[in-house]
Copies of this chain bind each other. A is one copy, B any other.
Amino acid sequence: MQNFENFLLDNLPVSKSIHPTYEKALGQMLRAGGKRFRPALLLGVVKSYNKLMVESAMHAAYAMELLHTYSLIHDDLPAMDDSPLRRGKPTLHVMFDEVTAILAGDALNTYSFEVLSKAPFSDYTKVQLIQELAVNGGLNGMVLGQAIDCYFENKPLSIEDVKVLHTNKTAKLIAASLKMGAIIVGREKLGEVLYDFGIKLGLLFQIQDDILDVTQSSEEAGKTTNNDEDKNSFVTLLGLKEAMNQANILADELLKELDSFDENLKNELSPLLRKYIKRHK
């Protein structure tokens, strides 16, 4: 993923402000690294079917990372999770202030759509990508997930509702990343298949996150861990052992589905996904 990292660094949002904090804050959390999992999924799909489009697809991968990053900045705010650490660095409201974190998040949210509107795709593709990102990252997607997560912080949810929470909070943007890759290479039917696969993958990803949150130190994770004891997570609901069991069942399902993909797609996604799918085995 070195190429995407370079693309991101070359395209950091620039705002000629008369105050240095705002401009610094806009790029801060983007530069801080992170797994770039969503961009890797999107670019992996594109690379499988059309290597010539990978460079254009960087714009879409970047838009996805922008929206994801804004969600982390707002999620970490004092009124939300109140996290001091993210991606191994102090969070924006700690390094600067709350105003900066709110505004930088707002700016990156909107900027993700600016980037897509200016990306080197046909207008038809741009509109599909924008819609996919907005629907999955918006009021019936990621933001809904955040809302459920916050409102039920101290109230136990059923396991079904926890799945609704994580499907919205995490899985929909992961699913959208895969689907946006398929949209770019003009394979709409594949997009639907990959979207469903991505929802499951996102759910697994979240269960693993819940597990890591109780088994890893903050230093290892690069963010504040053991901070979620009041949160509805698979671990708090099922216990660590059963959560790990569920993760493994889901992982096996995903490996089987992955095996049914086109050879090129399977070869491209396998190294990336096995790393996550297998990480507790």
Say whether A151 contacts B21, CB under 8 Å: yes
Asked if A261 is at the interface of the complex by the 8 Å CB criterion, the answer is: no
Stretch at the interface among A94-102, A199-207, A223-231, A243-251: A94-102
Asked if A56 is at the interface of the complex by the 8 Å CB criterion, the answer is: no
A69-85 CB contacts (< 8 Å) to partner B: 70-71, 74, 77, 79-80
Say whether A79 contacts B106, CB under 8 Å: no
Residues of B within 8 A of A130 (CB): 113, 116-117, 130
Q: In the complex, what residue of chain B is closest to A110 when comparing beta carbons?
A: B138
Asked if A134 is at the interface of the complex by the 8 Å CB criterion, the answer is: yes
Asked if A140 is at the interface of the complex by the 8 Å CB criterion, the answer is: yes
Stretch at the interface among A43-51, A142-150, A174-182: A142-150
Q: How far is the CB of A241 from chain B (nearest CB, A)?
A: 27
Residues of B within 8 A of A15 (CB): 139-140, 144, 147
Residues of B within 8 A of A107 (CB): 138-139, 143-144
Residues of B within 8 A of A275 (CB): none
A102-144 CB contacts (< 8 Å) to partner B: 102-103, 105-111, 113-114, 116-118, 122-124, 126-127, 130-131, 133-135, 137-140, 143-144
Asked if A22 is at the interface of the complex by the 8 Å CB criterion, the answer is: yes
Say whether B79 contacts A139, CB under 8 Å: no
- The quantity of this chain's copies bound in the complex is 2
Say whether A103 contacts B147, CB under 8 Å: yes
Residues of B within 8 A of A137 (CB): 110
A21-50 CB contacts (< 8 Å) to partner B: 21-22, 26
Q: How far is the CB of A109 from chain B (nearest CB, A)?
A: 5
**Complex: how many Å from CA A99 to CA B82?**
11
Say whether B97 contacts A79, CB under 8 Å: yes
Given known A22-B147, A144-B17, A150-B103, contact A131–B109 (CB-CB < 8 A) = no
**Complex: how many Å from CA A107 to CA B140?**
9
7 pairs, A vs B, C-beta closer than 8 Å: A79-B97, A102-B102, A105-B106, A110-B137, A110-B143, A111-B134, A114-B131
Besides A99-B147, A107-B144, A118-B131, 7 other A-B contacts (C-beta < 8 A): A15-B147, A18-B161, A22-B147, A79-B102, A110-B113, A111-B134, A117-B127
